[in-house]
Structure 1
Amino acid sequence: MNSVEKRAILGVGGIFALRMIGLFMIVPVFAVYGDNYTHATPFLIGLAVGIYGLGQAVFQIPMSLAADKFPRKPIIMLGLVLFAAGGVVAANATDIYQVIIGRALAGSGAVSAVLMALLADVTREEMRTKAMATMGLTIATSIMLAFAFGPLMVDSIGISGLFWLTAGFAVLAMVLLFVVPTPLRVLKHNLDNKSIGQQLATVLKIGDLNRLHIGIFALHLTLTAIFVILPQQLTDVMGLSVRQQGMVYLPLLFIGFAVAIPFIIIAEKKRKMRQVFLGSIVVMTASLALLALGSQVGIGIILGLLFYFMGFNLLEATIPSWISKRAPVANKATAMGLNSSSQFFGAFVGGALGGLLLTQSNLLAWGVLAAIMGAALLIIFPIAQPPYLSSTTVTIPKNIDIQDWSQQVMAVNGVDELVVMAKEQVAYLKLDKTQLTETSRQQLSSLVQSSLDI
């Protein structure tokens, strides 16, 4: 990876981590401490936890549509401001309804898809799966850290203190946004004359993207349901307190990710993304079946979770990369917005379903989740390999008009996309080598004022 890509991963990864930790520290403790709020009932406590996911599901799409028409960074900043404001409202709440309003406000700052689109803008095609895999590990690790540290901190700072931390993390995330390079996207197709309906229709017509949305929905439905069902089972079967359970999740997550890394490399380098993707769903389905049959003993729980985390890390890594390859260049954020909405709606449904399954037998509870992943596999199975384009990094010539230069580059046959980072004097070219001719190669070499190995 080059220095621009490393800066982008550091900045975007830091923003994701701060948001996720701030959000999920509340989840394992609110069921207990939520009773302290006026008018609290079990239903309203659950609503206060889940309303964030619903807000994310609703607002991802409009935020992403805007990010395909306008620069991405101001929209991300708006989302972080809303996230911080929601934390402040919840921190000052005296009744459960104010907490719900604060969580809903925080959820309206739905910029996960825009962050992924920004990261895709500033990473080359060959580095994208690695970048997205890093984001997947960052997100998953942040969730686990939140589950581990939330219960440890609430005794000393209280539930309102956790909400204040959420707001503080949002402010830190705003600072990190300035670390991320600011790209200028130059596209062959302009969105200025497209309506929102046309933007959505363009993306929704692509069947393989819809299959990826189903995949992320099933992934986060089962993940959320697991964390509703599992704590009580870890207590009953392994004698672990809520404080101790985070220390079980972390090593399993890291082992699962280490095992997943070679398959992530194979998916990209060997162009086996479809095989790796479908194999991951098979592994997750089998892991949930193992939990259905073996969760009465500790080793059954540990092995089931280990295999689940392997599949989880693979899907988290490959889905954003796949979308960035398959989505129309001008509709990348819109496609990622639909995917993020599916993700958070899956989390919302998974939380509700997990609550219903809590009172059922282990065999039925885990069996239902295994059946959901199995059904997703059948629906997704016809998916085709994503298109594989090549990319190259060039130094922008000095003393030129960047806008005029960009348009000349985009006019060359075989150039699919151009991302310019003027401050760094660097540009990424996404190329379709099947469309490149000797003439177009010479044109590009002339425009960048150096020979290109393409």
Structure 2
Amino acid sequence: MFTSQEKKGIFSLSLIFFFQMFGLFLILPVFSLLATEEVEGATPALVGLAMGSYGLTAALLQIPYGAWSDRIGRRPVITFGLLLFAFGSILAAMSSNIYWLILGRLLQGAGSMSSPIFALIADLTRPEVRARANAMMGGAVGLSFGSAMSLAPFLAHYIGLSGLFWVITVMSLCGLLLFWLAVPVPDQDPVKATQPIGVLLKKVLKQPNLTTLNFGAFACSMGLTATFFMLPMTLKANGWERSDWWEIYLSLLVAGGLVMVPSTIFAEVKNKFRQVMVGGILMILLSFALMAWAWSSRDFVWLMVALYLFFVAFNVFEPIFPSLVTRLSDAESKGTASGVYNFSRFAGQFAGGLTAGILYHNDLPFLPLVLGAAALWFLVRALGFPNPVRHASPVEKPE
């Protein structure tokens, strides 16, 4: 059971995540087409770069932000990031050239505050309920995904890509206001790091179990961005009207949610994190194998089946990754560990967008093969991942 402080912190931070992720998901199902049609100088490779460039700066800054929050506290760092994200959204909304759009996306990524926010969730919750707290955060992300995917085709028809970025600006400013009015201060001040960032970073990188989680985050995010680059192109090529796309996106949400909640409960209650991870990876590998076959045979139905399988498997990892990262890091390096994790996740987004933009029009199934190779290496690492010791406090170490 959550305490009242935990409930308030989880609810308010989940709502902030909803605002930010709603804005990001709002452009995901239509970005590749709208950028091609509305932005001067757009090519598939540059559109892929613009789509993934958010992940580039987000990746590069997650470790410094996490370590910075360990030293000066979470709140000033999060405030700075939310303001920067809003500025990047305004620049993207005003862009008519693909290069200005890329710059706006880079600034949006520079304002991503995942590391300090995940660390703040850890500050506000006990280790034994942290996976459930992250599942609730994942639920907010899932809700934002469903609502954004449902609304995006309609909004895009009336307000275009620029209008979507103005909506993102408003949502980000609402998140900033909510952060200062509703997010509680932890009962106890989190342990602030006294060691240099380099020492904290070396401590985190030397832990092989954290390395496994970080590579898994990279592989999953790379696959997610690449598949969502493909999906609108595929739907358009097969005669789907933009106003009907919500049917696909909403069903993806429902399928993912039906798997995410029970798999998280099973992993936490039964302490079967490794088993859940391996099952999710096997489903991802199956999805990429089907995707490669469907790509070669130009089979739309099986390609959609592969995309559904991937998204269902992806949702297995969303709540358990951040929970395990905070469990396997000590109090002083928690923000740095979250920074490395989110660096990996956003680097995967950048790699997925760039790779998809380059390989999408290739007749051979190079894209699913590249994604499958990354998932296969994740499986090799996950097979040796130990389940954490139960109820170890304040810091849980692996068995």
TM-score of the superposed pair, with normalisation by structure 1: 0.79
Contact 2:252–2:311 (CA under 8 A) maintained in structure 1: yes
Relative contact order higher in (CA < 8 Å, ≥ 6 apart): 2
Per-residue deviation, 1:378: 1.2
Contact 1:289–1:370 (CA under 8 A) maintained in structure 2: yes
- 2:249 matched residue in structure 1: 249
Does the C-alpha gap of structure 1 residues 294 and 33 become closer, same or farther in structure 2, counting only changes over 3 Å?
closer
Letter in 1 for 2:186: P
In 2, the alpha carbon distance for the partners of 1:309 and 1:42 equals 23
Deviation readout 1:161-219 (Å, 9 max, x if unpaired): 222211111110012213222115456x7622x11111111111111101100000000
Does the C-alpha gap of structure 1 residues 289 and 44 become closer, same or farther in structure 2, counting only changes over 3 Å?
closer
The answer to whether structure 1 residue 88 and structure 2 residue 120 are counterparts is no
In 2, the alpha carbon distance for the partners of 1:313 and 1:42 equals 28
Q: Where does 1:135-284 land on structure 2 (aligned, <5 Å)?
A: 135-177=137-179, 178-186=181-189, 191-192=193-194, 194-236=195-237, 239-284=239-284
Per-residue deviation, 1:10: 1.8
- 1:19 matched residue in structure 2: 20
Per-residue deviation, 1:98: 3.0
In 2, the alpha carbon distance for the partners of 1:291 and 1:101 equals 32
- 2:347 matched residue in structure 1: 345
Letter in 2 for 1:13: S
Per-residue deviation, 1:251: 1.9
Higher helix share: 2
The answer to whether structure 1 residue 291 and structure 2 residue 294 are counterparts is no
Per-residue deviation, 1:146: 3.1
Per-residue deviation, 1:261: 2.5
Deviation readout 1:350-374 (Å, 9 max, x if unpaired): 1122223322347554344223211
Does the C-alpha gap of structure 1 residues 349 and 140 become closer, same or farther in structure 2, counting only changes over 3 Å?
farther
Does the C-alpha gap of structure 1 residues 75 and 264 become closer, same or farther in structure 2, counting only changes over 3 Å?
same
Per-residue deviation, 1:46: 3.8
The answer to whether structure 1 residue 100 and structure 2 residue 82 are counterparts is no
In 1, the alpha carbon distance for the partners of 2:188 and 2:207 equals 23
Deviation readout 1:46-100 (Å, 9 max, x if unpaired): 4333221111011111111111112212211111010111122222334443333
Deviation readout 1:328-357 (Å, 9 max, x if unpaired): 121111111111111111011111222233
- 2:378 matched residue in structure 1: 376
SS of residue matched to 2:125: coil
In 2, the alpha carbon distance for the partners of 1:208 and 1:42 equals 37
Contact 1:63–1:110 (CA under 8 A) maintained in structure 2: no
Letter in 2 for 1:265: I
The farther-off stretch of 172-181 and 315-324 is 172-181
Letter in 1 for 2:276: V
Does the C-alpha gap of structure 1 residues 367 and 241 become closer, same or farther in structure 2, counting only changes over 3 Å?
farther
Per-residue deviation, 1:297: 4.7
In 2, the alpha carbon distance for the partners of 1:66 and 1:280 equals 33
Does the C-alpha gap of structure 1 residues 51 and 289 become closer, same or farther in structure 2, counting only changes over 3 Å?
same
- 1:118 matched residue in structure 2: 120
- 1:6 matched residue in structure 2: 7
Q: Where does 1:304-383 land on structure 2 (aligned, <5 Å)?
A: 304-361=306-363, 363-383=365-385
The structure 1 segments of at least 4 consecutive aligned residues displaced by more than 6 Å after TM superposition are none
In 1, the alpha carbon distance for the partners of 2:267 and 2:12 equals 25
Per-residue deviation, 1:155: 2.9
- 1:426 matched residue in structure 2: none
Contact 1:82–1:105 (CA under 8 A) maintained in structure 2: yes
SS of residue matched to 1:87: helix
Letter in 2 for 1:98: W
Contact 2:46–2:98 (CA under 8 A) maintained in structure 1: yes
CA RMSD, Structure 1 to Structure 2 (Å): 2.6
Larger CA Rg, structure 1 vs 2: 1
Contact 2:122–2:326 (CA under 8 A) maintained in structure 1: yes
SS of residue matched to 1:384: coil
Letter in 2 for 1:57: A
Contact 1:86–1:103 (CA under 8 A) maintained in structure 2: yes
Contact 1:51–1:107 (CA under 8 A) maintained in structure 2: yes
- 1:439 matched residue in structure 2: none
Per-residue deviation, 1:157: 2.3
Contact 1:129–1:321 (CA under 8 A) maintained in structure 2: yes
In 2, the alpha carbon distance for the partners of 1:231 and 1:362 equals 19
Contact 1:325–1:388 (CA under 8 A) maintained in structure 2: no
Structure 2: give runs of 5+ residues left out of the alignment: none
In 2, the alpha carbon distance for the partners of 1:309 and 1:141 equals 15
- 1:393 matched residue in structure 2: none
The answer to whether structure 1 residue 47 and structure 2 residue 55 are counterparts is no
In 2, the alpha carbon distance for the partners of 1:233 and 1:254 equals 21
In 2, the alpha carbon distance for the partners of 1:330 and 1:105 equals 29
- 2:388 matched residue in structure 1: 386
In 2, the alpha carbon distance for the partners of 1:14 and 1:142 equals 10
Contact 2:70–2:336 (CA under 8 A) maintained in structure 1: yes
Deviation readout 1:294-342 (Å, 9 max, x if unpaired): 5655653454334323321111111111111111121111111111111
The farther-off stretch of 370-379 and 24-33 is 24-33
Letter in 1 for 2:175: A
In 2, the alpha carbon distance for the partners of 1:289 and 1:42 equals 24
Higher strand share: 1
In 1, the alpha carbon distance for the partners of 2:313 and 2:28 equals 23
In 1, the alpha carbon distance for the partners of 2:229 and 2:384 equals 32
SS of residue matched to 2:333: helix
In 1, the alpha carbon distance for the partners of 2:300 and 2:33 equals 26
Contact 1:133–1:313 (CA under 8 A) maintained in structure 2: no
Structure 1: give runs of 5+ residues left out of the alignment: 391-415, 418-429, 433-454
Letter in 1 for 2:336: T
